[in-house]
Amino acid sequence: EAAVTQSPRSKVAVTGGKVTLSCHQTNNHDYMYWYRQDTGHGLRLIHYSYVADSTEKGDIPDGYKASRPSQENFSLILELASLSQTAVYFCASTSGGGNERLFFGHGTKLSVL
């Protein structure tokens, strides 16, 4: 079974601080994604990547940066965390862009105070 590991599992951050969420996959997948999920809502796409050293903006990229230093690793960076960024963040990987299943991590619960 394909594996996507996110760290940390939960984090409390202060407003204005820097937060880095990490994602590691052992699936040998080219495509990786970051989504956020607010309570009672669906998943919204923040950033994605289809090759190492390159990232693309999703539907809600403002306030977030992404980094893909290798095929296996994909990070989401909040340079200046804000209260509105409190959410659960999911990383996913896939072999075929939108044409194949996504494998998700367990999520990172971020609380910004």
Partner 1 sequence: SQWGEENLQALSIQEGEDVTMNCSYKTYTTVVHWYRQDSGRGPALIILIRSNEREKRSGRLRATLDTSSQSSSLSITAAQCEDTAVYFCAVGTGGYKVVFGSGTRLLVSP
Question: Residues in the site for partner 1, rule: CB under 8 A?
Answer: 4, 31, 33, 35, 40-45, 48, 50, 56, 58-60, 90, 92, 94, 97-102, 104-107
Q: What minimum distance in Å lies between the beta carbon of 97 and partner 1?
A: 4
d(CA 74, CA 50): 11
Contact partners, residue 71, CB within 8 Å, separation at least 6: 28, 29, 30, 51, 52
In the bound state with partner 1, the residue whose beta carbon lies nearer, of 49 and 79, is 49
DSSP state of 100: S
* Minimum distance from residue 16 beta carbon to partner 1 (Å): 26
